[in-house]
Structure 1
Amino acid sequence: MTEISAIEQPANVGNPRMGWGSDVAAEMMRRTGLKYVALNPGASFRGLHDSIVNYLGNNGPQMLLCLHEDHAVSIAHGYAKVTGEPMGCILHSNVGLMHGLMGIFNAWCDRAPVIVFGATGPVDAAARRPWIDWIHTAKDQGALLRNYVKYDDEPRSAAALVESMLRANMIARTEPTGPVYVCFDAGLQEEAIGEIKIPDLRRYEVPAAPSASPEQVERAADMLIAAKSPVLLIGRVSREQSDWDNRVRLAELLGAKVLTDLKNAAAFPTEHDLHAAPPQSFLSDRAKTVIREADVVLGLDWVDIGGAFQQALGRKDAIAAKVINCSLDSYLHNGWSTDHFSLPPADLQLLAAPDGFVAQLLPVVEGKLSGKPRFAGGAPAKAPAACDAGEIIRPRDIGVALQEVRADYNLTICKVTIGWASDSYQFRSPLDYLGSEGGGGLGSGPGAAVGAALALKDSGRLPVAVLGDGDFMQGGTALWTAAHYHIPLLFIISNNLSNFNDEVHQEAVAKMRGRPPENKWIGMRIDDPALDFVEFAHSQGVEAMGPVDAHKDLAAAIRKGLDVVASGKPFLIDVRVQPGYSAPLLVRSSGESSTGG
């Protein structure tokens, strides 16, 4: 495979001296451990661009060129989903920031550590060029995103820049993690500086996450051990194998049923007998029953636990089970967005990191049960799901085909479509699936997949992104970045020639109003002309094939694509699928679930 570090290396750099404001920013990027920064170029940060190239030698961090600012943020977000570590991205002035805002909101809702750098000015009006510098200068650029980042700043000197970047790094990495924003004055970037003292970063380490008190751990253990039908709702947790093993051990000790969902990354083996229902974005009937029958529920940073109780019981306060809610998320809640979700009832509220709490809880439960698990079985493989009869490919069949070929490949599913069939593909390790985009913003899928693939490069895992046609086309030029930097990744386009999620909603509204639902397709269908994904991919240097529209060709096409990815290159497959969803959606207008048509 081509090493990314060998791409776009500068010549004649020598041994440059830190002499400009932007050199300080670049030096701080290196010292805080950023390996990459994704960007679309802009004159507002031309000084910083030069510093990364000619002062750092485009290494530590290395720049990744993107064709859109939103891709830059999404790539950094995808990288964080794999590593739990921040990656940098740089946005050009106010206009680039506005392009990237959706990606930042996604990262915020997904609690992903992304360090966003911006630029403005020159702040000194006397130094501005006519027209262009004026429209690209804002007095308070951070106001555009302050409600959905953990921290923002616009330092006014090189010394202040050091402290600002130290603080941003610490805040982004401190649990609960999230995006931060530092804006650089164009004038400061290009200002000559004297000697700058950079402190010892070992004195600015990221603090450990809060933990539960011994009394709380003891009380939680007693509640769970006394339960006859305990349930674990496992949400936002780490990608560490040791944490995964701890969660499995806890469930087996307690004999607890486990639920996970598709909004978050893989958190528990879905083939395990204790995993009670396939993960979905909304609760299945089986999952609702599991919650209704529980006598103790332990939530481990479950996204919208109050909403889960509402889905299962009609209203959240109808939950009869004792509730232990472990989450740090309330530290990020504010009044601008309602990503704090419904306020859940809880009998024991724990402000602790979920995996840290499980590590605290395990030895206590082990001791009380004398190390004897209540679950005596193993984790038997469940029968693989079958394709639907007939030649037409449905969305679920992509998962079935991936499950069929996975014995020969070590796969990471970066993203799936709304129509994904959760029973078609089993999650067996913490990197088998990386979760959703967080904020529901379309267009993030391609970039986030590229970022995840970047983080997985040389790991032995082959990344696969299953994307809808609408989502893909809003962010499809992220393919170029994958091709240019030789980032191996398989894109599978689940192409139903429509913005089909909205067809479902229009059908619901029409039925509610007594109007013809057969008109739901108007303003939705992406056809006449149909998009040519293969030529689109080829134009950006990515090998591709399709459209694949028959069952007999699907698995072979996926194998071909994975073989190309294994050789170190991206590949795209256009798969024509029948519109429809495998799991029901919640349709607000009717108050009922719909599977689409």
Structure 2
Amino acid sequence: MRAEDAEGAGRGNAAIEWGSDAMAELLHRMDLRYIALVPGSSYRGLHDSLVNYAGNRDPQLLTCLHEEHAVAIAHGYAKVTGRPMAVAVHSNVGLMHASMAVYNAYCDRVPMLIIGATGPVDAAQRRPWIDWIHTSADQGALIRQYSKWDDQPASVEAALDSLARAYSITRQAPSAPVYVCLDVSLQEQPLRSLPAIPDVGRDRAPWSNGPDALAVAATLRLLGEARLPLFLLGRLGRDEQDWDRRVTLAERYGALVISDLKNGAVFPTGHPLHPVPPGIFLPAAAAELIGAADVILSLGWVDVAGTISAAAADGHPASARIISCTMDSALRNGWSMDSFGREPVDLSVPADPDLLVRALADSDERVKPSEWPARDSAGAPPADGDGAVGAGVSMHDLADALHGALAGSPACLVRVPLGWNGADLEAGHPLDYLGLDGGAGIGSGPGMAVGAALALDGSGRLPVAVLGDGDFLMGGTAIWTAARYRLPLLIVVANNSSFHNDVVHQERMARQRHRPTGNSWIGQAISDPDPDMASFARSLGFHAVGQVNDRSALPSALAAAVAAARSGQCVLVDVRVRPDS
């Protein structure tokens, strides 16, 4: 991001005179680099303070076109950095706009400080009409079931305390969004004296809890007895040293590793101990490994119960002793079923999975080699029809051409669509792939891509998002923010002109009921007219050319797009893919 793109006259010597000035000062001390927002009158006082008191620096305002995009941008940023961004949402209406993205971030366990606002709580201060419909008695209740903490303080001093507390809570594992609602009257209240600004740098406690000695010893004992150990690697961190420790631990025990596409890269996909390409759902070959293993170590795996059940349904019931390390239980409630089924485990370790890996890797326990047969690296990419030029572009064609265009320089695959085959994922670094969005909400991809681009700006690693056409069209105006702040980004739209995942569901339903499958496209097609993705992207400041619909043209089109993005441009490529790919 270019320095001149941060509007504002710079931080001066303005005194803290208003309630919102004190709040802006606290946000500055939190080391929050950005605050994504859609302008709204309910936090006009804070807006003024961020710009005219704080000089639009730390946090810098990022203008967005929809509250859902603002939250998705913070989500993508956190996926890369592990750090919270701030988001400002206008009143109850802005929070309702943002709610789907908040749910995604909650399910994905990322930190985020959401600052809301409301019209005057004191009814005597409300303007006619607008302040009444933009004021709620308990605004945080809108997202309370899928956020970690919320508050609506009643004084400036209490607001400062709530913001400081929220900042601490969202960073503590397991992370999730927090929400503080600021009465517009508090923001605009003149200060008679300077309130105490909380010292947010005082607490030096670790943000994650490690396993206790008994849990480490029990895990070491079970792994030491294993002959066919299997690791399920799920929601884990982006730290390179933790990545190396996972590899070291798997190699020490000769444990086979399963990962999935819902989460980011956690283990080298080409490693011999990672024999099955990752999937969104459990691949048959992975089910076979689960049935054969005698000890399974689950590290942040999403839906252990469902995975074991899926393996059994595939003819491979688990007989292994199962260790599950996760802190997820701290966020479970009776509203959201993202807690999944009761885990069928022999040892539960309520700790940060990366910290358990560190403890295990630091152990000097003697280990016997596993008895898994020798294996090569993960499976080869899928064969693709007859390979005839002009026969249509498959998702594998797209993946293959993209890998070729990106070869030789680091990139970050921010997202992939549902049709992406795990065998086409090449991950050798924790930032090679970021995973999905947690809550499986369509429309999150564009905003998360922008957030990842923000976090990666200046790193030398190019953010690339492969998005379905439905996902892109639902959230597409989010990309304007990338263009506005000159964030290099490549978006590839895998365009099958339909909500094809639902076509498959309708075909299945029709077959079950012995009805025509040929009607499954009705209500699912994105055609007649076909959206002009390139024109849409150009109108939002992206470089884009016409649609690519022939596989022979794909390598050169993607190579040109990558070159343009690496030169600092925002680029979109629309690729017509076969609906069955």
TM class by shorter chain equals over 0.9
Q: Does 1:278 align with 2:283?
A: no
Aligned ranges 1:545-560 → 2 under 5 Å: 545-560=545-560
Counterpart in 2 of 1:415? Answer: 415
1:449 matched residue in structure 2: 449
Q: What's the counterpart of residue 248 of structure 2?
A: 249
1:585 aligns with: none
Q: Does the 8 Å CA contact 1:387/1:400 hold for their aligned counterparts?
A: no
1:293-350 deviation per Cα after TM superposition (whole angstroms, max 9, x unaligned)? 0000000010001100000013999531000000000010000010000111111110
Deviation at 1:116, TM superposition (A): 0.7
Distance 1:440 1:170 in 2: 27
Q: CA deviation at 1:113?
A: 0.5
Q: CA deviation at 1:377?
A: 9.0
Contact 2:275 2:376 in 1 (8 A): no
> 2:467 aligns to what SS in structure 1?
strand
Partner-residue secondary structure (3-state), 1:443: coil
Distance in 2 of aligned mates of 1:200 and 1:576: 54
Aligned counterpart, 1:110 = 108
CA deviation after TM superposition for structure 1 residue 455, in Å: 0.2
Residue 552 of structure 1, CA deviation: 1.3
User: 1:380-404 CA distances to partner (integer Å, 9 max, x unpaired)?
Assistant: 6976666541221012222111222
SS in 2 for 1:352: coil
Equivalent-residue separation in structure 1 for 2:41 and 2:381 (angstroms): 54
Give the counterpart letter for 2:147 in structure 1. Answer: V
Specify whether residues 316 and 196 from structure 1 end up closer, same or farther in structure 2 by C-alpha distance, changes over 3 A only: farther
Match of 1:488 in 2: 488
C-alpha contact 1:496 1:578 (8 A) present in aligned 2: yes
Letter matched to residue 340 of structure 2: F
Tell me the CA shift for residue 13 of structure 1: 6.0
- Contact residue 446 and residue 475 of structure 1 kept, 8 A: yes
TM-score by length of 1: 0.93
Q: 1:206 to 1:183 in 2, by over 3 A?
A: farther
* 8 Å CA contact 2:404, 2:555 repeated in 1: yes
Q: Does 1:216 align with 2:215?
A: yes
Runs of 4+ in structure 1 off by over 4 angstroms are 315-318, 372-388
Distance 1:472 1:433, change over 3 A: same
Q: Secondary structure at the match of 1:578?
A: coil
Q: Partner of 1:30 in structure 2? A: 28
Where does structure 2 lack aligned partners over 5 or more consecutive residues? Answer: none
Q: 1:13 to 1:222 in 2, by over 3 A?
A: closer
- Contact conserved, 1:453 with 1:463, CA < 8 A, in 2? yes
Equivalent position amino acid for 1:355 in 2: D
CA distance 1:383–1:305, change in 2 (3 Å): closer
Letter in 1 for 2:226: A
2:142 is the counterpart of 1:144:
yes
- The DSSP-based 3-state class of the residue aligned with 2:365 is helix
**Aligned partners of 1:276 and 1:290 also within 8 Å:** no
| In 2: Cα distance, 1:508 partner to 1:221 partner | 45
Give the alignment partner of residue 155 of structure 1, picking from 139, 153, 156. Answer: 153
Specify whether residues 379 and 211 from structure 1 end up closer, same or farther in structure 2 by C-alpha distance, changes over 3 A only.
farther
Determine the C-alpha separation between the residues in 2 that align with 1:434 and 1:204: 30
Q: Alignment RMSD, CA only? A: 2.0
**Cα offset for 1:9?**
2.0
Q: Which whole-Å CA distance do the structure 1 matches of 2:310 and 2:49 have between them?
A: 53
Q: Which residue of 2 aligns with 1:124?
A: 122
SS in 1 for 2:521: coil
Structure 2 residue aligned with 1:471: 471
Q: What is the rounded CA distance, in whole Å, between the counterparts of 1:280 and 1:513 in structure 2? A: 29
Q: What per-residue deviation string (whole Å, max 9, x for no partner) do you get for residues 163-206 of structure 1?
A: 10111011100001110001110011000112111133233345
Q: Distance in 2 between matches of 1:369 and 1:228?
A: 10
Aligned mates of 1:72, 1:169 — CA distance in 2: 18
Choose the corresponding residue for 1:166, options 140, 164, 167.
Answer: 164
Cα shift readout 1:549-593 (whole Å, capped 9, x = no counterpart): 111111211111111111112100000000024xxxxxxxxxxxx
Structure 1 Cα separation of the partners of residues 221 and 342 of structure 2: 25
Q: Which residue of 2 aligns with 1:576?
A: 576
Change in Cα spacing, 1:331 to 1:274, as seen in structure 2 (3 Å) is same
Is the contact between residue 45 and residue 188 of structure 2 (CA under 8 Å) also seen in structure 1?
yes
Tell whether the 8 Å contact from 2:10 to 2:55 is kept in structure 1 after alignment.
Answer: no
Q: What's the offset of the Cα at 1:128?
A: 1.1
Q: 1:427 to 1:13 in 2, by over 3 A?
A: closer
Q: CA deviation at 1:376?
A: 12
CA distance in 2, matches of 1:13, 1:458: 24
Change (3 A) 1:210 1:508: same
